Amino acid sequence: MDLLIKVSMLAVFFAVTIGIGLYCRKHATDVNGFVLGGRSVGPWLTAFAYGTSYFSAVVFVGYAGQFGWKYGIAATWAGIGNALLGSLMAWVILGRRTRVMTQHLDSATMPQFFGQRFASRNLKIAASAVIFIFLIPYTASLYNGLSRLFGMAFEIDYSICVFVMALLTAVYVIAGGYMATAINDFIQGIIMIVGIVAVIGAVLKGQGGFMAALDKLGQVSDPAVSSTPGVFASFFGPDPLNLLGVVVLTSLGTWGLPQMVQKFYAIKSEDAISKGTVISTFFAAVVAGGCYFLGGFGRLFSDQIDIAANGYDSIIPTMLSGLSPFLISVVVVLVLSASMSTLSSLVLTSASTLTLDFIKGTIVKDMDEEKQLKTMRSLIVVFIAISVVLAILQYKSSVTFIAQLMGVSWGALAGAFLAPFLYGLYWRGVTKISVYVNFIFATVFMLANIFVKGSFPAVLQSPINAGAFCMVAGLVIVPVVSLVTPKMPKAHLDQIFACYEKKVLVTVKDSIGDQSNNG
């Protein structure tokens, strides 16, 4: 009976997912529709697409367990940072300007934006190379955590789980493109919200309620971490500096990730941006805040967890192993939802970037709409296949190099793109050379973090802190280099920034304007 409940929930989930992909085929008949949904996606779909691309199984199983164990209840700050900095501020600062300028430049990808904003075909190719190199291992990391949860729920081989998830994602993305991804993200996002709230309630109830659980956590001690009594139930935890690195990487990083920023390209209207800001912030507060909050109580299960033998990924599955069959089924669908939504966003970004920014015009000079669509759909299959091979290879062979590269990918992508993209939207003074310098700095720094980590200062040996450092450093590098390198031609800048000077008529409900002439 227990198995029947789990299988039935998965069957319904899979059927809905595939059905949506087939339904959305009509929206994916040209490049604009396939990649951006015709730039007509509403606030709810865009906000949920942003949130579900943000939070994957890596957060729920990996980060929540790891950081909850290290920092206790203070790990919740990571979720708060994700909501305020990674969602609210990202939408307020980037949302509207991204939508306006990318439409003006007719760019569908981040490399296209760089190529047109800075009048450089080579810069576009360089950006697409960075995305190709670092999104693939990040894509493979999405399967992490599925092995333990599926093993706990079904006792089936990890390879089968990975293959089924990859196949289903490929079907609906290839069939319906961005619109299928956005609608599925909305449904998967609802599952994530309901699931995380239900799981937190059940886990805390098993510990006697929130106050009882917090009291127990306050009695936990670990001399290897801190000698301060009750540190795991404290406001900032045992290691505030490294916790800050987690907050910066996981929050500020979204500002420079191509699969996140691209959501702003597709949003429908000004009103949709305002509503999407609120919805996205709420989603992040519940999902990210809930995940890290739950992970903060991981040490209450220390008698059942062997970190040395099983790693941090075993924490959350152990916490959930005592739940009812129905809730375990909800968790499995939750993690599948989180992983598939992010996977679909990543492979669509990778395929569109490689097709539009590298193959088209570089390898294939004459590439019509039909060829572009066929190439993107083929590359989606290729990218998913590569990610499956990497995920299984790492799981079966414990290839640590792949795992390291997965951790570095977020920092390299966000470190390379955040500052040039942000300044490029607002400041006419950004130079082409400053963008190149920032690309090189972030990618080389993060790769060095793999190969010569021991030569780094202790605080930067962690890929998380190194990634956060690259993002912040970029905010200094780009303006400093721009001040001492040749400026972009004035005529080009006037044409680029003309998009912000266009006059539009709005109704009084949108702007009261100057009413002095009306008495």
CB-based contacts of 441, cutoff 8 Å, min separation 6: 415, 470, 473, 474, 477
pLDDT at 434: 97
> Would the pLDDT of 518 be above 60?
no
Q: Which residue has the tokens 């998913």?
A: 384
What is the residue-wise DSSP string for 189-243?
HHHHHHHHHHHHHHHHHHTTSHHHHHHHHHT--BTTTB-STTGGGSSS-S-HHHH
Whole-angstrom Cα distance, residue 449 to residue 457? 11
Residue 193 DSSP class: H
| Least confident span in 92-101, 130-139, 443-452 | 130-139
Cβ proximity of 51 and 189 under 8 Å: yes
pLDDT score of 146 more than 70: no
Torsions phi, psi of 293, nearest 5?
Answer: -60, -45
Residue 364's φ and ψ, nearest 5 degrees, are -110, 110
pLDDT at 514 (0 to 100): 52
* Through-space distance between the first and last CA atoms of the chain, rounded to whole angstroms: 74
CA 438-441-442 angle, 5° bins: 85
Domain definitions of the chain by residue range: 2-378
Q: What is the pLDDT of residue 346?
A: 85
pLDDT of residue 406: 64
CATH of 2-378, one of 3.40.800.20, 1.10.10.60, 1.20.1730.10, 1.10.150.530: 1.20.1730.10
pLDDT digits (tens, 9 = 90+) for 416-458: 999 999 999 999 999 999 999 999 999 999 999 888 888 889 8
Whether the pLDDT of residue 515 is over 60: the answer is no
Which pTM does this prediction carry? 0.87
**pLDDT confidence tier of residue 519, bands split at 50, 70 and 90:** very low
Could you report the per-residue pLDDT of 463-478, keeping only the tens digit for each? 888 888 999 999 999 9
Which of the given ranges, 14-28, 285-299, 336-350, has the highest pLDDT on average?
A: 285-299
pLDDT at 177 over 80: yes
292 and 55 Cβ atoms separated by less than 8 Å: no
Mean pLDDT of the chain: 85
Specify the range with the lowest mean pLDDT, choosing from 14-23, 190-199, 338-347: 338-347
Estimate the crossing angle of helix 325-354 against helix 43-54, to 10 degrees.
100
- The span from the CA of 352 to the CA of 155, in Å, is 37
Q: How far apart are the C-alpha atoms of 56 and 340, rounded to whole Å? A: 8
Cα angle 502, 507, 510 (rounded to 5 degrees) comes to 85
pLDDT band at 502 (very low <50, low <70, confident <90, very high): confident
pLDDT tens, position by position, 217-266: 999 888 888 888 889 999 898 999 889 988 988 899 889 999 889 889 88
pLDDT tens digits, one per residue of 10-67: 888 888 889 998 888 877 788 888 887 777 788 888 899 888 888 877 787 778 888 9
User: Can you read off the two tokens belonging to residue 13?
Assistant: 């989930």
